[in-house]
Amino acid sequence: MIYKDLLAATALATVALALPASAQDCPRGDLDARYCDADGDLIADVPTDAADQIDPDTLVFAYTPVEDPAVYATAWEDFLAYLSDVTGKEVVFFPVQNNAAQIEAMRSGRLHIAGFNTGSNPLAVNCAGFRPFTIMAGEDGSFGYEMEIITHPDSGISEVEGIRGGQLAFTSETSNSGFKAPSAILKADFDMVAGEDFEPVFSGKHDNSILGVANKDYPAAAVANSVMQRMVEREVVTPDQIVSIYTSQTFPTTAYGTAYNLTPALQESIRQAFFDFDWEGSSLQEEFEKNGEAQFIEITYEDKWDVIRKIDAANEVSYSCQ
């Protein structure tokens, strides 16, 4: 396995953006016009015409851009080496800087396997042909994270209402816990709307928001507590720098999957790598056991992302691919 930067990865061969013949006239629901969903499972079908399928010599993998990409290049090293062994292909780690870049990389054919964060999954599915099939879980099969609204001890904020008239940091508009969920919850439960009842600012990533609160750059922020827990474990921030004033219901975490147009045999070997990988003593275990995660389990987008699609509907989010 090798690692390459963004520019090197984008130099890899891309698939044409023209609509495949099989996607001209077919059931698709909310999917972009280039995809079909004949079986109604809400994700893009694998093209029926072999001419529209791809079997690249090099597979490009990207993890959701929530924290320092260099940390996760190391964390994923053992898994990607195993993925290379199982598929017989070279594997490249693609350190994307934001959700939009990750979605566009898969949409344009530069990205083949990815972990998309909770909030960007619907866009990746509908606009980029992402086919999620697994998430990380604990040994008992439990999974997920919560959105927390955090502040610092000197902010003078002790409850959510204390944000009114002040500033709240979001991460990006595609993030569930960093924007979508808190926006819906603040409006429904607290009658607070960004731009009217408080000033929204965008940090770009969860670690930026968490560090911003810890360093008193932001009075409050909405973040994924799984990211915060890993940062505490790595001693990037300390618990006494942060006060939580709201915790949401549990949401599904990052989903992993493939681009829709990989050959069925290649998609199956990638699935095999995820489900057969031995976590014990691996670099993946070292990083993600901090959240209690110990395995990959099978999921469906139709089922596990139902709550996220409802949050998007409440926020009047459109899965536009323009």
DSSP state of 262: B
Higher pLDDT, 97 or 61: 61
CA distance 74 to 69: 9
Q: What is the mean pLDDT of residues 137-144?
A: 94
Residue 205 has pLDDT above 70, yes or no: yes
Q: Identify whether residues 13 and 121 lie together within a single domain.
A: yes
Q: Is residue 320 part of a domain?
A: no
Is residue 94 located within the same domain as residue 135? yes
Are 125 and 270 found together in one domain?
Answer: yes
Q: What value does the mean pLDDT take over residues 216-223? A: 98
Residue 18 has pLDDT above 50, yes or no: no
Is 17 inside any structural domain?
yes
Give CA–CA dist 262/129, Å, rounded: 11
Domain endpoint, select from 251, 273, 304 = 251
CB contact set of 320 (below 8 Å; sequence gap of 6+): 127
Alpha carbon of 89 to those of 1, 53, 82, 218, 241: distances in Å? 9, 17, 10, 45, 45
Is there a single domain that holds both residue 6 and residue 125? yes
**What single-letter amino acid sits at 236?**
V
> Rounded mean pLDDT of the chain?
90
- Residues 158, 99 share a domain: no
Kindly state whether residues 237 and 304 are assigned to the same domain: no
Domain hosting residue 197, numbered range: 145-251
Considering the domain architecture, whether residues 35 and 174 belong to the same structural domain is answered as no
What digits encode the pLDDT tens for the residues 263-311?
999 999 999 999 999 999 999 999 999 889 999 999 999 999 998 998 9
CATH number where 116 lies: 3.40.190.10
Judge whether residue 242 has pLDDT over 60: yes
Same domain membership, residue 27 and residue 136 = yes
Q: pTM for the whole thing? A: 0.79
- Sequence-distant (≥ 6) Cβ neighbours of residue 261 within 8 angstroms: 15, 20, 46, 47, 52, 53, 54, 129
For the chain, how far is it from start to end, CA to CA, in angstroms? 34
> Is the domain of 258 the same as that of 247?
no
Same domain, 289 and 207: no
The mean pLDDT of 119-135, rounded to a whole number, is: 96
Q: For residues 139-143, give the mean pLDDT.
A: 94
